[in-house]
Structure 1
Amino acid sequence: MRISAIATGFVLAIAMGFVAKAHDVNVQRAWNDALNEQCPGKHLTWLAPADLREALDDYKQQVSPKDRHAMDAAASTRCRDVMAGASCDNQADLVFAQARSDLANVAAMTCAEFARCNAQSQCTPTSFQAPSDAPSAQRSSETAGLSETQWTVALARGSRGDADALNTLVTLRAGTDGDRTESIDEAISDALLTNPKEVLSLLSSHRELPPASWYCEDRAIEPDEADVARWTDAAVTSLSHVSDPALAPIRSACLSSLRQTAAAH
């Protein structure tokens, strides 16, 4: 799904609000200092690769050559701090840093919106931490309180197999309906390709979820037959690497569903 438009609107709305008060400071150092104060430890605002690519490119077209150079310089340095799987051009702080003023406020907002940082450089959005034993009404309230940006991040992470995000999406699913439920189910299904063991564990332990056959298929909106065939082959290959005996029953059910899909196409 395309989520760059959401990211673009969010980033540009914040960035442009601060650019008007820009002053000549060392952008990279000031930003890193501010972010370190607001979010101690390894600071990483994680978004899926390419989620902010278009926002970054759009913003670069609007800034001066000097600011554009500052962005590129900051990006090359920040590359060393980005954990495996992410990329430098998706870092929200590279855009926010160009605001050049009220950096502490922007850093605080970044940490509050996107990440709880810890010593392992793993960031989990704090708003997604709804306890699994919370009443349904509370989970529904937490779900309704998530911003579109937070949902975008959670779904992007979940679809790429992030275990924390997947567990959170499953927890919040009971409080969702309509499009958001469909988006959660699509993310869980997509995660079969990258973290099949976690998905099978969730399907095995969360009896309130639909059956394995619901998730063990390409749940993209109106995929064509070629896409379904590619997705199914990739899912079968991914599941072949799961050898945990405890997951054998749910794995067999999933493979059976996938083979039925393959036979139908």
Structure 2
Amino acid sequence: MDNSEKKKVIISQNLHNYPRKNQLLPKDYIKKYKADYYAFQEYPRDGKGFRSVIVDKEGNDKSIDVKNVEILWKKYFPWTEFRSGYWSETSIRFGYKKIVILNIHISTSYTDNLRLVILQRLKQLKGKRVLLVGDFNAAFKNQTDTPIEENHKFLSCIIGEGYTEKEDTKEKSNFPHYTFAVEDKDKNIWLKKKLDHVFISNVLRDDENLSVEIQYLDKVNINYNHLGYATMSTNFSDHTGIKICIGPASGKKTN
């Protein structure tokens, strides 16, 4: 490996890209938040709607064809159209090591379909270095003010497929880092949830030559004051972003 390569930085961010005054365009996000790759959810399509996409630091779409995912979808749900707008994939290299990136946005309209296909895709990628990121619209029981058993079970199934959730250095099981807040107007309270996640395959986790660390980007969140983290904000989204840094493990060199 070329040891001059210090790290690769990937940011996962739901852009919450609906027309409004403080909308931040993808090109502006890329300019402000420096990374090698951006896994965007709710990236604006030409015309109406949005999609999940992976772009590089020049804004070029690096998403690869996901025909194999469409085949999985058609296997289990042949009566419905593959919801390609909620899914993107690519692969990157750190030295000679290949890392697959899956960028997921679990729509509340197609929850069960997307969940099943994700788990089946993870089975296909068994034994590979995989980075699974996105807006899962689900939290473990300890990561939300409103626990939902089905959501906890789904995320537990990801763990069961050989994955580990990455957390920042301050995060504890009894002190999760929330990424989303919604107002319960009837009770006049804000409910906090961790809907955005970074999972890494245990193959990647156990690679003694590689290190994966994350950092939360709370300042983009329009509800930051209800999450209790940032004191200042250049906010535009209802989701906190997550920066992932992949680099050589301390004192190690990649093969």
- Is the pair's TM-score, using the shorter chain for normalization, greater than 0.5? no
| TM-score tier after normalising by the smaller chain length | under 0.3
TM-score, normalisation: structure 1: 0.26
Higher alpha-carbon Rg: 1
- Structure that is richer in helix per residue: 1
Structure with larger RCO (C-alpha < 8 A, sep 6+): 2
- Structure that is richer in strand per residue: 2
TM-score, normalisation: structure 2: 0.27
